[in-house]
Structure 1
Amino acid sequence: MNHLILFAHPNPKSFNAAILETTVTSLEGKGHRVVVRDLYKLNFDPILKGTDFEVFQSGRKPADVEVEHDHIQKADVITMIYPIWWSGMPAILKGYIDRVFSYGFAYRYNDEGVPVGLLAGKNGLIINTQGNTTDYYDSIGMTGAVKLTTDTSIFGFCGIEPVDHLFFGAVPTVDDATRQGMLKTLRERLDQLF
């Protein structure tokens, strides 16, 4: 199985980096092919420009977007790993989605104006870290809001089948043993899914 991981955290020593390493090791250990697109390391340009629209409308693609389209087309599973910042994803990942999950590639509208996902047949997994506890975010409705925004309104809209969405809460304040338990939970879930 071909896995594409979209990673969005600027600190290579972060817990998100440990999640990335655990995910790659687990998947490759089971014989899966894994490609990681570390958006910060790539210095991916997240700004959707007017010139991007002009290029898309002419039937071409900006060169950096074409590279990402190739990775997505080859993927059976698309995994996003990122922290929840201000109730959403880091700007670099949002910009990636704005530019790469483009009209005519990730979705289109049919003659009745109904959206059609063009990435059907692919699975999606999201792994998030949060500053507060998962129970707190559940209680204020943020967990549901994040899932609606990402699982339904991004993956589902583009035809990608969400297979799971993992939340690891209170990451900055828990001890290392708790974080190791989170990584164990991640490995177990990856084994169940793939």
Structure 2
Amino acid sequence: MNHLILYAHPNPKSFNAAILDTTVSKLESKGHTVVVRDLYKMNFNPLLQGSDFELFQSGKKPADVEQEHGYIGSADVITLIYPIWWTGMPAILKGYIERVFCYGFAYQYSEEGFPVGLLTGKKGFIINTQGTPCELYDSTGMTEALKKTSDTGILAFCGLESVGHLFFGAVPTVDDSARQAMLKELKSTLTELF
């Protein structure tokens, strides 16, 4: 399978980086092809401009968006790896989605005005870290809200089949053995899914 990983964390020594390395290593060890788009390292421009709309409406695309469409088009699985900041994704990833998962490529509307996802036949998987313990997010409904906005509001909206969503909580305050257990869970999940 061809895997595309959209990665959004600015610190190359972060636990997210360990998650990325583990994911790439595990998938490649199983014979999968993996392409990583490290949005911070790429210095991806997340700002949706009026000029972007003008190009989209004329049937054209900005060059950087066109390039990302090529990666998405070749992928069987799209995995998003990012931290939860202020109960959402980093701005650079939100901007990527706004610019790249655009109308006419990732979705369109039917004559009745209902959205139609255009990325059907592809799978989506999300891996998140957060500073807050998972138990607190679970008890307040935040975990389900995050799933609703990302798994349903982005993946399913664009026609992707969501195959899983991992949340790793309290990452800054747990010890290394707890983080190693998280990576073990990640490896096990990747083995089961792919």
State the TM-score bracket (shorter-chain normalisation).
over 0.9
Moved runs in structure 1, 4+ residues, more than 6 A?
none
Q: Which amino acid aligns with 1:54?
A: E
The whole-number CA distance in structure 2 between the counterparts of 1:84 and 1:111 is: 36
1:169 aligns with: 169
1:181 aligns with: 181
1:56-135 to structure 2, matched below 5 A, reads 56-135=56-135
The alpha-carbon deviation at position 67 of structure 1 amounts to: 0.4
Q: Which amino acid aligns with 1:82?
A: Y
The whole-number CA distance in structure 2 between the counterparts of 1:125 and 1:62 is: 26
SS of equivalent residue, structure 2 residue 35: strand
SS of equivalent residue, structure 2 residue 61: coil
The alpha-carbon deviation at position 132 of structure 1 amounts to: 1.1
The alignment covers a number of residue pairs equal to 194
1:25 aligns with: 25
The whole-number CA distance in structure 2 between the counterparts of 1:97 and 1:24 is: 22
The whole-number CA distance in structure 2 between the counterparts of 1:185 and 1:115 is: 35
The whole-number CA distance in structure 2 between the counterparts of 1:8 and 1:176 is: 22
1:51 aligns with: 51
The whole-number CA distance in structure 1 between the counterparts of 2:9 and 2:142 is: 20
1:76-104 per-position Cα deviation (integer Å, ceiling 9, x unaligned): 00000000000000000000000000000
The whole-number CA distance in structure 1 between the counterparts of 2:137 and 2:112 is: 38
Q: Which amino acid aligns with 2:118?
A: L
2:5 aligns with: 5
The whole-number CA distance in structure 2 between the counterparts of 1:82 and 1:59 is: 31
The whole-number CA distance in structure 2 between the counterparts of 1:53 and 1:88 is: 25
The whole-number CA distance in structure 2 between the counterparts of 1:58 and 1:72 is: 22
1:36 aligns with: 36
SS of equivalent residue, structure 2 residue 37: strand
SS of equivalent residue, structure 1 residue 4: strand
The whole-number CA distance in structure 2 between the counterparts of 1:97 and 1:142 is: 21
1:53-92 per-position Cα deviation (integer Å, ceiling 9, x unaligned): 0001111100000000000000000000000000000000
| Structure 1 unaligned blocks of 5 or more | none
- RMSD, aligned α-carbons: 0.3
SS of equivalent residue, structure 1 residue 116: strand
Q: Which amino acid aligns with 1:29?
A: S
- Say whether residues 1:14 and 2:18 are aligned partners: no
| Structure 2 unaligned blocks of 5 or more | none
